[in-house]
Structure 1
Amino acid sequence: MKLDWTVYGLELRSPLRISRSVMARRDAVRVVIECDGVRGHGEVVTSQYYGLDVERITGLLRDLVPVMAACADPAELALPELPPGVLAAVDTALHDLKALRQGIPVHQLVGVPQWTDVPTAYTIGIGDPAHAASQAAYLASRGFTVLKVKVGSEHDVATVNAVRAAAPDVRLILDPNGGWTAEQAVRVVDQLTGVDALEQPIAPGQWDDLAWLRERCPVPLIADEDAATAADVRALAGLVDGVNVKLAKCGGITAAREIIDIARASGLDVMLGCLVASSLGIAPAVHLTGHARWVDLDGHLLLADDPWTGIGGDDGTLRLSGVPGLGVVPGLGDVPGLGDVPTRAERR
């Protein structure tokens, strides 16, 4: 097998502010694994939170080149230990490759025989309540039925109430990114109505506080940063109502399927989340949405120019093309190295 990669930049439509940072752009690395003339694709994005920059990502991929070259059968590939984001990209490319060789969509490999269109949340960053309300009204007019509101400022109550007034029929997910205390979470949520879920309200690692909060929180409590591994999810049973499964956090489709199975067996609901990424980076999680109660896969929608297309979402609904593999193809963006990717017609 042959491993290759290309680096490109992803610019956001507008800077996204959360409780711990502000982001306006990030780099992405397209991973390509070729076997017998068929190419599978995946994507890993840089992340300060996860300690991944371009130099580290490409260095790790460079080390993988001889490992790939020594293996002729993807089923026999033994990968070394890798950071979850890099592993997720490689795992995605292998799933894409396998599905393309079988002539089926990836979702048929991961326990979703019949995939259906699904609503996705759209993220509103921390900002002025009036601006958040304007965004909410616009998104609702476009067809979005689920909105995620980033909170963690002194204007949280005003912002959420403004969003609710501007879009009274949407489902709301609140995400402080660990920026609240447990007491603050109770105090804020008590002043709100119509909240569908609360995601990682307190800093990770405070599981006693999570349990205390769950007893007092009137809305489902979802662990995100606290739910990175299968072992984490097992231990969280009874402490929260659900877990946010991000492929870049857990290590890809294979790890996500294990975590989803453990969550269900433990009585936990599943949210599928993402980092800001292109449609290529979001697509593998889209194929898993049949396993999730909440879907928050809007990373590609936050971009000024998405170099890939094929999963929809502009009107609030994710749609797969039904073609084999991940189902994404190059869009209109000028991204180096995309000329070798088959068009949608060629994938058919």
Structure 2
Amino acid sequence: MKESAAVFFKHLGFTYLGANLFSMQISLKKYTLPLKHTFRISRESHDFQNSLIVGLTHKGKVGYGEATSNPYYKITVESMIAEIMAIKNEIEIFDFDTPESFHKYLVEKGLTNFAICALDLAAHDLYGKLKDKPLYELWNTNTSSYPITNYTIGIAPIDIMVSKMKETPWPIYKIKLGTTEDVAIVRELRKYTNAIFRIDANCAWTAEETIYNAPILKDLGVEFLEQPLKADDWHGMEQVMRHTVLPVIADESCIVEEDVEKCGLHYNGINIKLTKCGGLTPALRMIKQGKEMGLKIMVGCMTESTVGISAIAQLLPQLDYVDMDGAMLLKKDIADGVVIKNDGKVLFPSIAGSGVTLN
């Protein structure tokens, strides 16, 4: 079995680090994922996304997880691999029982949340496959009702933004802003679609701009604003919450579990990113805490492949909003799992866990 596993992972291009059938066998691979279009937000732009895929094998089952690099948080695939390699011998002999116990162990080892996320997603996928049930079922939720993902339109010249919408007709668009002509951009885009708009300024606005823009954007069919101010501008958000006519969702202000309580006093909702908080394990706790505080709950992506998107999809029944279009933005995907149809509906995999298999 050891030899067959090694051959299997070598065929996929992974670095195989396993020991034997009864240990936690681990594999790591860097992917460079090309995007369909240049993706630009207020602070950066890129044409590809570097991503780490982790495979965890136990008792003949393989679970997959993912975490992307991110310059804003100073995370690279190489840095995540180095972290994981530093404790790979300990991971191999870890007595895997539940994803929660594994996550606690990883936190105690001091890994970054991005590296923990890749391992945690793999552990959840593995656990579901061992139990032969999808994660949403293990969490006592069902997929009879769930929110539709938005499709993201990055900052670009107006004609390019319009062409992206025409290329992918969609019921909900997230529009990235952070220019000197933001309202004019939304006004122009509105001419070409009746879709719901969500606006994400990625920390580029001031409180005054947000309060001024909000009523105009509301009249243009905008549903909510996401992270208009800098992440630590809590005073500005107090002003926004007193005066804005649109709901505001925290993103960069809500990274880990400890941020939920403060965001509850300054925002109408939170956008949870699995890579930032450390995976599904803390995300589930953040969802529960946010709901108890009366916040709207959103989960967002970081342009992951279907590996990461399939993990997000398991949370759908618990969410008010979702941004899980990452794999849709890629020229070529690397995995099979959740499928998002042209109308936004989701086809869940027939296999258990997150339902992921690598191509």
Counterpart residue number, 1:336: none
1:166 shift after superposition = 0.8
Give the count of matched residue pairs: 327
Please give the per-residue CA displacement for 1:293-324, whole angstroms capped at 9, x wherever unaligned.
Answer: 11111111111101112212251333212421
Partners of 1:148 and 1:119 lie apart in 2 by 12
Alignment-derived partner of residue 324 in structure 1: 352
Structure 2 residues without counterparts, runs of 5 or longer: 1-23
- Partners in 2 of 1:101 and 1:18 — Cα distance? 40
The reply to whether residue 73 of structure 1 matches residue 96 of structure 2 is: yes
Instruction: State the secondary structure of the residue aligned to 2:87.
Output: helix
- Greater Cα offset, 104-113 or 222-231: 104-113
* C-alpha deviation, 1:183, in angstroms: 0.6
The offset of 1:111, in angstroms, is: 4.0
Q: CA deviation at 1:237?
A: 1.7
The residue aligned with 1:148 is 174
Which structure 1 residue ranges, 5 or more long, are not aligned?
332-348
The alpha-carbon distance between structure 1 residues 107 and 136, as it changes in their structure 2 partners (threshold 3 A), is same
Distance 1:111 1:52 in 2: 34
Question: Which of 3, 16, 19 pairs up with 2:42?
Answer: 19
Q: What residue in structure 2 maps to residue 344 of structure 1? A: none
Question: Does 2:85 align with 1:62?
Answer: yes
Q: Determine helix, strand or coil for the equivalent of 2:258.
A: helix
Instruction: Tell me the distance in 2 between the aligned counterparts of 1:203 and 1:130.
Output: 29
Q: Is the contact made by 2:142 and 2:317 (CA closer than 8 Å) also made in structure 1? A: no
Compute the RMSD of aligned alpha carbons. 1.6
What's the offset of the Cα at 1:227?
Answer: 0.7
Structure 1 residue 281 corresponds to structure 2 residue 308: yes
Q: How many Å apart are 1:89 and its aligned residue? A: 1.0
Q: 2:239 aligns with which of 201, 209, 212?
A: 212
Give the structure 1 partner of residue 113 of structure 2. Answer: 84
Q: Decide which moves more: 311-320 or 273-282.
A: 311-320
Do residues 132 (structure 1) and 132 (structure 2) align?
no
Task: For residue 116 of structure 1, report the CA deviation from its aligned partner.
Answer: 4.6
2:188 to 146, 151, 162: 162
Q: Is the aligned partner of 1:188 residue 2:213?
A: yes
State the 1:115 CA deviation: 5.3
Is the CA contact 1:134–1:166 (under 8 Å) kept in the aligned structure 2? no
1:110-157 alpha-carbon deviations (Å, 9 max, x no partner): 3424455642101001112233233324432xxx21100000112211
Q: Does 2:265 match 1:254?
A: no
User: Is the aligned partner of 1:32 residue 2:59?
Assistant: no
Give distance in 2, aligned partners of 1:28 and 1:237: 31
Structure 2 residue aligned with 1:42, among 65, 76, 80?
A: 65
Between the aligned partners of 2:40 and 2:322, the Cα distance in structure 1 is: 20
Question: Deviations for 1:58-98, whole angstroms, at most 9, x for unmatched residues?
Answer: 10110231111222333354221221111111111111111
TM-score (norm 2): 0.87
